Structure 1
Amino acid sequence: MSQKKSRIGIIGMGLIGTSIGMRLAKRPNRTFEIVGADSNRGHARTAKKLGAIDKDVGSLEELAENTGLIILAVPVLAVRDIFQEITPYLVPGAVLADTCSTKKDVLDWASELLPGEIHFVGTHPMAGKESSGPEAADVDLFVDATWAITPSPRADEEAVRIIMGMIESMGAHAVHIDPAEHDQYAAAVSHVPLLASVAMFRVVRDSPGWEDVSLLSGPGFRDLTRLASGDPRMSTDIMETNKEAVLHWLRRYRKELETIETAIELGGEPVKGLFESTRLDRDAWLLNPHTERKIDGPDLPSSRDAMGQMLVGGNYERLKEVLAGKIPGTDGKES
């Protein structure tokens, strides 16, 4: 009698969810089924056509059935409602993870709403595009990206390792971080740059000479304003759930603009010094390799081992030799 396949569920078949599914589906000799759900059923059907999921389902109840690992790739403010709706159907011991851009509120909702036997691990892949939807998905979207991990207090070490294994299989670099710390730093390197992109486009677009100015817009303007084409709902949710951190960095940004304005007014060395020092600092940052921040603890099974145990159960030891060194993305290369 053949063993029933283990299941991974993905809720939200947009850019992130579909890209995750595409990468998981490429895992060689996989014995797990990937199921997907989206409030826009058309997105789920598209994801299935792209090979990101094996089956699209119409309800969270159906998705949660016999599913040991569930990934929420949805806008932040949708997470709380999903927790409430899916809780009655979760398999005891299941591992849940999200991919939202803010973490503190999500971890608070997990603590408030999820049963004690459910292991929630917050995550945030620092990767994306201005395009949204499953059509924009890319199997290599996360390669060499930083992927933040913020485990809930109730998530055991095996659950964390399972999520790390998933992240490694995406080709990304795991970074363990406190949720509040994550939100502060994400505001600086992701959320305020989004607002700067929006502001720059609005300033130029609202000028009387926009039609003529736009003729001169080149790669610099397009690159700087790229984030303004992102999903409005996702952007709104980020600002709603990370307001204080965003305002803090906006104020610092405004102050820096005033410093730059003063340097330009003075001219000469102040302007040159500003550009020279910034170039040196940025070049040094670009040369800095990825590092992994680890949670202290006892020796554990490797993240690849933990994910394998979750996904293939009793077949794990048999498949271990087959999978060793062949998981897409674990060494930055395709198998």
Structure 2
Amino acid sequence: MFQKVAILGVGLIGGSFGLELKRRRLARQVVGVGRSKANLIQAKKRKLIDTIGVNLESSVRDADLVVLAGPVQAILRHLKDIAPHLKKGAIVIDVGSTKQTIVDQASKKLPKHVFFVGTHPLAGTEKSGAMAAIPDLFRGKSCLITPVATTHPVVLKKVMQVWQKMGAKTILVPPKEHDRLLAYTSHLPQVMATTLMNVISQGLPIETIKQFSGGGFRDTTRIAASPAEMWRDICFSNKPHLLKAIKIFQKELTKISNFLSKGKQKKMLNYFESAQSLRQKIS
């Protein structure tokens, strides 16, 4: 499918993408680029990539597909840095968790002879680095594809086919709508888990938390262990939508606090039952 693929950021998503390219024989050569030499050595040892890129310029030169798989700010920097070195007809995709800013910058920074398609596989975990990459990470998961009016239809189809061959279910969504939806389904939950972890740590020592917490606590706070740099970038790149979601959540916290302080047991019961019913429908 591709002669040469360059992956910029060989972590959980980028590494798993490289692994699937090789397992499914979708690329003849996979080059990995990143800040950590040790991580890239691990990626090559685990056969996520074939070679370690000497530098950004030579790694993307002659690449048929370039995958931007770092944090959002790194993706934005890379769009500018790789632009002069891409061959005619090269395809660039990103796997970032926000889309509008990235898509806008891609249209400004990349030359006209290069094709860009925004993608977002909903397959993340709290782990990071090449050691976190696993086979079949994308199987059965949704991959959101965010084309715009200028997206070439043939290139869009090819990008969708790559994700489908990796087992993902591709869903087309406009970039702005993607960011609005993910503010509620991904970014707000991350903020909630992070905040909960920080609140609990203020009142309890770590050992006490370990001894007195069960599965509910671990499930609720699991994603608080996610890479901090990545989530800082996501929050700020989706600032308007996330702020709106946080404001709504704050109102809901106030509502349940009022039920509790005013002894409104029936309303509290209805509130829990409503959430219970909704969650069961998702399951």
Is the TM value for this pair above 0.5? yes
| Per-residue deviation, 1:47 | 1.0
Contact 1:103–1:183 (8 Å) recurs in 2: yes
Partner of 1:269: 266
More displaced, 89-98 or 153-162? 153-162
Q: Which has the higher contact order (CA 8 A, sep 6+)?
A: 1
After superposition, the Cα gap between the structure-2 partners of 1:108 and 1:270, relative to the gap in structure 1 and judged at 3 Å, is same
Q: What does 1:161-172 align with in structure 2 at a 5 Å threshold?
A: 161-172=157-168
Contact 2:21–2:27 (8 Å) recurs in 1: no
Partner of 1:330: none
Rounded Cα–Cα distance in structure 2 between residues aligned with 1:212 and 1:50: 38
Q: What does 1:1-335 align with in structure 2 at a 5 Å threshold?
A: 6-28=3-25, 32-207=28-203, 211-265=207-261, 266-286=263-283
Question: Match of 2:274, as an amino acid?
Answer: S
More displaced, 267-276 or 181-190? 267-276
| Per-residue deviation, 1:219 | 1.2
Rounded Cα–Cα distance in structure 2 between residues aligned with 1:186 and 1:31: 31
After superposition, the Cα gap between the structure-2 partners of 1:87 and 1:208, relative to the gap in structure 1 and judged at 3 Å, is closer
| Per-residue deviation, 1:158 | 1.1
Question: Match of 1:181, as an amino acid?
Answer: E
Contact 2:93–2:119 (8 Å) recurs in 1: yes
| Per-residue deviation, 1:107 | 0.7
Provide structure 2 residue ranges, at least 5 long, that are not aligned to the other structure. none
Rounded Cα–Cα distance in structure 2 between residues aligned with 1:31 and 1:122: 20
Higher-Rg structure is 1
Contact 1:21–1:53 (8 Å) recurs in 2: yes
Task: Give the aligned CA root-mean-square deviation in angstroms.
Answer: 1.7
Secondary structure of the structure 1 residue equivalent to 2:203: coil
Kindly tell me the number of residue pairs found equivalent between the two proteins: 281
Secondary structure of the structure 2 residue equivalent to 1:154: coil
Question: Match of 2:243, as an amino acid?
Answer: L
Question: Match of 1:130, as an amino acid?
Answer: E
**TM-score normalised by L of structure 1:** 0.80
| Per-residue deviation, 1:208 | 5.1
| Per-residue deviation, 1:170 | 2.1
Secondary structure of the structure 2 residue equivalent to 1:188: helix
Rounded Cα–Cα distance in structure 1 between residues aligned with 2:204 and 2:121: 39
Question: Match of 1:11, as an amino acid?
Answer: L
Contact 2:33–2:55 (8 Å) recurs in 1: yes
| Per-residue deviation, 1:285 | 2.3
After superposition, the Cα gap between the structure-2 partners of 1:31 and 1:268, relative to the gap in structure 1 and judged at 3 Å, is closer
Secondary structure of the structure 2 residue equivalent to 1:102: coil
After superposition, the Cα gap between the structure-2 partners of 1:131 and 1:31, relative to the gap in structure 1 and judged at 3 Å, is closer
Rounded Cα–Cα distance in structure 1 between residues aligned with 2:156 and 2:209: 51
Question: Match of 2:279, as an amino acid?
Answer: R
After superposition, the Cα gap between the structure-2 partners of 1:168 and 1:224, relative to the gap in structure 1 and judged at 3 Å, is same
Runs ≥4 residues deviating over 6 A: none
Secondary structure of the structure 2 residue equivalent to 1:225: helix
**TM-score normalised by L of structure 2:** 0.94
Partner of 1:301: none
Secondary structure of the structure 2 residue equivalent to 1:206: helix
Rounded Cα–Cα distance in structure 2 between residues aligned with 1:114 and 1:152: 15
Contact 2:43–2:130 (8 Å) recurs in 1: yes
After superposition, the Cα gap between the structure-2 partners of 1:245 and 1:68, relative to the gap in structure 1 and judged at 3 Å, is same
After superposition, the Cα gap between the structure-2 partners of 1:208 and 1:216, relative to the gap in structure 1 and judged at 3 Å, is closer
Question: Match of 1:250, as an amino acid?
Answer: I
Contact 1:76–1:101 (8 Å) recurs in 2: yes
Rounded Cα–Cα distance in structure 2 between residues aligned with 1:71 and 1:226: 27
Secondary structure of the structure 2 residue equivalent to 1:100: coil
After superposition, the Cα gap between the structure-2 partners of 1:154 and 1:94, relative to the gap in structure 1 and judged at 3 Å, is farther
Question: Match of 1:8, as an amino acid?
Answer: V
| Per-residue deviation, 1:80 | 2.3
